[in-house]
A and B are shown apart, each in its own frame.
Chain A
Amino acid sequence: MPDRPLAPALRPFDAVGGRTIAVVDSLGRFGTFFAEALVALVTPPFKLRAFIDRINFIGYRSLLIIFLTGAFTGMVLGLQIYLTLVRFGSEAFLGPAVALSLIRELGPVLAALMVTGRAGSALTAELGIMRITEQIDALTVMALNPMRYLVAPSILAGLITFPLMTAMFDVVGIFGGYLVGVKLLGLSTGTYFGEMQTFVDLGDIMVGFWKSVSFGVIVTWVCTYKGFNVGHGAEGVARATTQAVVLSSVLILVWDYFLGSILQ
C-alpha cells in the first residue's frame, strides 16, 4: 500500500516517532549483540588461540601507555596534593591521598580511557575492515559463528586485562607519587607508605576492581559492536571508530559515577 503524504502539522511528530523507534531499535540490537557474545563465551568450542591473541592485543601492547600515564598521573597527584596538604601541616597524609585517589577513581578510569584510545579504536577499525571486505560474511557462510571467533574472545580479554592493567597503573602511580613526595619534596618513606597501610583497606581496592572489570566489558562490547555494524567503505570505518571511542569514553565516566555512588 503506498504511503500517504502526512499533513504538515503531523510531520514533527512523525520525525520524533521515527527517531525514537530508531533509538529503541538500536538499543535492542546492542543488547542482543551482547547476549549473543555471552552465549558464544560460555558454550564450547572455546577459541583459546583467539583469546590469547586478544590478551596480547588489548593488554600486553597497552602496557607502555599504562606505565607512562600511570607514572605521570601519580607524580602530578603527589605534587598537587603535597602543595595543598602542606598548607595545613598535613603532608603526612600524602601517601593515602595519592593511593586512594588512584585505587578508587583515577586508576580504573584513566587506564580504561587509555586502553580505549589505543586498543578499543584498533579493535573497531579491525572488525570494521573485516566487515567491509566480507571477511565476517566469509566466516558466517563457513558455518562458523563470528561472535565466537571475534567478539567473545575480546570481551573475555577485556574482563581479564582491564583489572590487571588498572593494578599496574595504580602501582606505578603510587611510585610516581613517592618519587615526587619523598625524593623531591623530602617526605620520609615510612610516612608515605606507613600512612597508606593505615588508611587504604580491601574495600577501596574492591571498588577499583569492580570498576575496572565493568569498564573492560563496556569498552570491548561497544568497540566490537561498532566494528561489527560499520557503514560503507573507509568513511564508515572512520565514523565507527570515532563513535566507538567517544561512546566508550562517555560510558566509562557515566558508569564510574553510578558505580562510585553504589560502592561507597
Chain B
Amino acid sequence: MIKVEGLTKSFGRQTVLRNLTLEVATGTITIIIGRSGGGKSVFLKHLIGLLRPDAGRITVDGVEITGLHGRALDEVRRTYGVVFQSGALFDSMSCWDNVAFPLREKVRTPPDELTKRVEAALGQVGLEGVGAKYPAEISGGMRKRVAIARALVTEPEIIFFDEPTTGLDPVLVNTIHHLILGLHRRFRFTAVVVSHEIPEIFEIADTVAMLHEGRIVEIGPPAAIQASANPVVQRFIKGEPDNNS
C-alpha cells in the first residue's frame, strides 16, 4: 500500500501541493486526474523519490521513503517501474536494448533468460520484431509501448504511469489503456496513472482521485466520481472552464 499524508511542496512562492493525503491499495489501478499544471506530475515525482516534500510523508508498504537517501531509497525503487510522459527511452540504444537495460544492469539476468524476457515483454505490448529499431525510428505510440515493456520487464510490484497517452490519437489512447488493463490483470501490479483522458480512463480505473489546486478534492470508484456533486469535479469531467480561467 502507498500512503501519502499531508504532502506539501512549494517552488519559491508558488505552493503546488497543499497537505495532500491519499491511499493507494495494493494491486489496484488508481488514476490521478486534474487540470494541466495542477501538480499531478510533481506529485508523481514525490512518489518515485525524484522530489522531496517540504512537509508530509509517503510510506510504501510500511517504509517511509521521504527521509530515505542513496541505497535505502534504491531498495524501494527496485520494486518500481516508471513510464515517463516522454517515454524517456535511451536514444543511443535500440528498443531491444532499452527493454534489456534494467534486466542487465538492475537484475543481472543471465543472457539466455534475458533474451526470453525481453522478447516476452516486447510481445506483451505487441511489438515483436521492432527490437532492432531505435526510438527515433518508431512512432510516438510505439515508443510509449516500448516504455511500458521496459517498465514491465523486471516484474515490478508498483508501476507509475505519467500521462502515458499524451499526444496520441484516440485509437492509440484506447489501445494503451487496454494494454495497461490487460497487463494489470495478468501481473496484478499496483498502478498509479496520472492522466487527463476523460472519460476513457474511467474504464480501467479501480479508484479515481481528482487533484485540484494541490489537494485531492474527490476520491472514489469511477462511478462515484462521475456522479460527484463537487462542482470542480463536474466541470473537469464535462470539460467546462473554471470561473477563474
Contact = CB atoms under 8 A, between A and B. Distances in A.
Question: Which of B75, B80, B82, B106 has most A Cβ within 10 Å?
Answer: B82
A143 B154 CA distance: 12
Contact of A135 (B50, B82, B90): B90
A141 B78 contact: no
Contact of A143 (B78, B89, B91, B101): B78
Contacts of B80: 141
A188 interface: no
Interface string A121-149: 00000000100011101101111100000
Interface residues of A, number: 11
A141 B48 contact: yes
Nearest to B90: A135
Given A137-B50, A138-B82, A143 B106 contact: yes
Which of the four size classes fits the interface of chain B?
20 to 34
A143 B77 contact: yes
A137 B84 contact: yes
A156 to B, nearest CB: 18
Interface in B42-100: 48-50, 74-75, 77-78, 80, 82, 84-86, 88-91
A138 B82 CA distance: 8
Question: Which of A133, A135, A138 has most B Cβ within 10 Å?
Answer: A138
A134 B77 contact: no
B49 A133 contact: no
Nearest to B80: A141
B102 interface: yes
Contacts of A141: 48-50, 77, 80, 82
B8 to A, nearest CB: 15
Contacts of A135: 88-91
Contacts of B88: 133-135, 137-138
B105 interface: yes
Nearest to A47: B105
B84 A134 contact: yes
A138 B154 CA distance: 14
Contact of A134 (B75, B78, B86, B106): B86
A134 B90 CA distance: 9
A141 B192 CA distance: 15
A138 B77 contact: no
Nearest to B160: A141
B85 A134 contact: yes
Contacts of A129: 91
Interface string A76-107: 00000000000000000000000000000000
Contacts of B50: 137, 140-141
A144 B101 CA distance: 10
A133 B78 contact: no
A43 to B, nearest CB: 11
A44 to B, nearest CB: 13
Nearest to B79: A143
A234 to B, nearest CB: 14
A143 B156 CA distance: 12
A142 B105 CA distance: 9
A133 B88 CA distance: 6
A72 B124 CA distance: 59
Contacts of A143: 74-75, 77-78, 106
Contacts of B49: 140-141
Contacts of A134: 84-86, 88
Contacts of B84: 134, 137-138
A133 B86 CA distance: 7
A147 to B, nearest CB: 11
Question: Which of A129, A140, A142, A144 has most B Cβ within 10 Å?
Answer: A142
B106 A133 contact: no
Given A134-B85, A134-B86, A138-B82, A144 B91 contact: no
23 contacts: A133-B86, A133-B88, A134-B85, A134-B86, A135-B88, A135-B89, A135-B91, A137-B50, A137-B88, A138-B82, A138-B84, A138-B90, A140-B49, A141-B48, A141-B50, A141-B82, A142-B77, A142-B101, A142-B102, A142-B106, A143-B75, A143-B78, A144-B102
Interface of A: 129, 133-135, 137-138, 140-144
Chain A to chain B: the 7 pairs with minimum beta-carbon distance, closest first: A143-B74, A134-B88, A138-B88, A143-B77, A134-B84, A141-B82, A141-B48
Given A143-B74, A144-B105, 12 more contacts: A129-B91, A134-B84, A135-B88, A135-B89, A135-B91, A137-B50, A138-B82, A138-B84, A142-B77, A143-B75, A144-B102, A144-B106
